[in-house]
Amino acid sequence: MFLLLVFLSLCFIWCLQFHWKRFRLYKLSRKIPGPLNLPLIGCAHLFFTGNAAEIAKRFMQMFDDYPDLAKAWMGPELYYLITKPEYLEVVLNHNATLEKMDLYKFIRPIVGDGLISSPVKVWKRHRKIIAPTFNQKVLNEFPGVICEQVNFLIELLRKECDKGEIDHCRYVTNCAIDIVGETIFGVSIGAQTGGKSYSLIFDKWMEVVFMRIFRLDYQFEWIFSWTKASKIQEEVKRIIHTMTRDIIEKKKEQIGCQLEADDEKKKPFLNLLVEKHLNNELTLQELEDEVNTFLLAGSDTNATSGSFILTLLGMHQDVQDKLYEEVSKILGPERPPTLDDLPKLKYTERVIKESLRVFPGAPFVARVVEEDVNLGDVIVPKGANIGLGYLHLHRSEKYWKEPLKFDPDRFLPENSINRHPYTWLPFSGGSRNCIGWKYGMMVMKIMTAMVIRKFRVKSSIKSIGDIELTANVVLKPKNGFRLAFEMR
């Protein structure tokens, strides 16, 4: 009996200390609206059951129910859910909110501590090394290589013409991987000739990551290791890491056989990183982590965004006709787009921007608050977490008229002049934004122009609202991509 009393007393004291340390979190968040929070678990009960699509739907519903700002407790963790542009601008440019949440640890088994998931100290050092490889001088060398890979994609799609709707994303993903290989890494990967469907591999892994974030049982390694999801993760890890090591070995052989330029601002990504590794400025693990990150982020996000663009053009024949007219006028029937052509494809760029508004690659980003952050009328306390809801920002009627209408002319200069710059964030914002956003826009513009010049695409989907989404880290349609291709 005495030992039981001692144990209960210690538990009581621990609870008092725990809640006393968090008293300020309770106090400052008390008046912030949010979903029902139960004792101990908060609103985690909303995510105990269901598949990734169902869990994603419940999670995204919170942003719909509580626009601009909401609070949600997930167990002992406090989240501020934000979609207001003025708040987003403060958060994304504040030094106290650069750190990614601990939940990003669930992508580390595959990508390690690359730019997307690394702690701030690692991120700052790596970003400084990598940034020169995405300057305009380097990007200017890419259009010809991108065109070669898109031409291969076109030949594969030609074989699928007049067969009804197909999963075009599997072709676009393999093309995007080969583009990353030839441009960012400077080596041939051969995804388009290898026969594997990397889009399915990526999707399976992304679903595992999403489930680990929201299902409490999956967050315990000893439970997760017994699940089917763990086996999927290990298989994806084997495939990606084998590719990464092969890419690095090829690049080491290349560097050993050729004279490298002295100017770091002219060196491609992997050339520079391998040299930094050989000079002991990066460890082998750090090198592999960044290659893993760019292999996945550079290909999967571009492929998904490119697939959404084609889907939306298939749904909106008038927009497709206008884009085809622009491409035909500027490029003609066969000529590949050059660096000088890209700025002239203004309508094509507006189509891409509008697609990224409706379907941003990353629908949600999470940060840790390391010091109090003043949003003007709200204080976000140290120790809280912040969730940035880009999908809901992009679809809010407060900032976009008829948000589910596909209208590329929203991005005409005269229609954008009074728009808050933080109402459109497909590449995030602030110092920790997407380092390769210019590269991504270049790839999407070339791919869209060349594919639509050769094919008319058609979709049976009637409206954007009919596309049910699943947020497997990268935004995807629940029922996959489907599109019909016809030769022009």
State the angle between helix axes of 169-180 and 284-315 in degrees (0 to 180), rounded to the nearest 10.
140
* Helices and strands in the chain, H and E counts: 20, 10
Residue 8 has pLDDT above 70, yes or no: no
Q: What is the tally of structural domains in the chain?
A: 1
For 376-398, how does the pLDDT look when each residue is reduced to its tens digit (9 = 90+)? 889 999 999 999 999 999 999 99
The values of phi and psi at residue 363, to 5°, are -75, -15
Distance CA 301, CA 111 (A): 15
Residue 104, domain member (yes or no): yes
CATH code assigned at 117: 1.10.630.10
- Annotated binding-site members for heme: 434
Residue 268 has pLDDT above 90, yes or no: no
For 291-328, how does the pLDDT look when each residue is reduced to its tens digit (9 = 90+)? 999 988 888 899 999 999 999 999 999 999 999 999 99
Residue 11, domain member (yes or no): no
Confidence label for 32 from pLDDT (cuts 50, 70 and 90): confident
- Annotated binding-site members: 434
Residue 171, domain member (yes or no): yes
Residue 424 tokens, joined: 């459109």
CA 245 to chain CA centroid, Å, is 23
Distance CA 418, CA 364 (A): 25
Distance CA 430, CA 415 (A): 23
Residue 403, domain member (yes or no): yes
Amino acid at 316: H
Residue 15, domain member (yes or no): no
Residue 102 has pLDDT above 60, yes or no: yes
Query: Domain containing 150: what range?
Result: 52-487
Burial of 414 (C-beta count, 10 Å sphere; 0-12/13-18/19+): exposed
In the prediction, which pLDDT does 259 show? Answer: 47
Amino acid at 266: K
Measure the CA dihedral 102/30/49/233, to 10°: -10
Residue 393, domain member (yes or no): yes
Residue 144, domain member (yes or no): yes
Higher pLDDT, 116 or 260: 116
What is the rounded average pLDDT of the residues 446-465? 96
What is the rounded average pLDDT of the residues 434-449? 96
Distance CA 43, CA 52 (A): 17
| H helical segments located in 163-197 | 169-180, 191-194
The values of phi and psi at residue 200, to 5°, are -70, -40
Beta strands 385-389 and 373-374 are unpaired
Residue 471, domain member (yes or no): yes
The values of phi and psi at residue 179, to 5°, are -65, -45
Q: Name which of 136, 421, 109 is nearest 241 in CA terms.
A: 109
In the prediction, which pLDDT does 10 show? Answer: 59
In the prediction, which pLDDT does 201 show? Answer: 80
The values of phi and psi at residue 181, to 5°, are -60, -50
Distance CA 362, CA 448 (A): 20
Residue 306 tokens, joined: 């490119």
Residue 277 tokens, joined: 């590794």
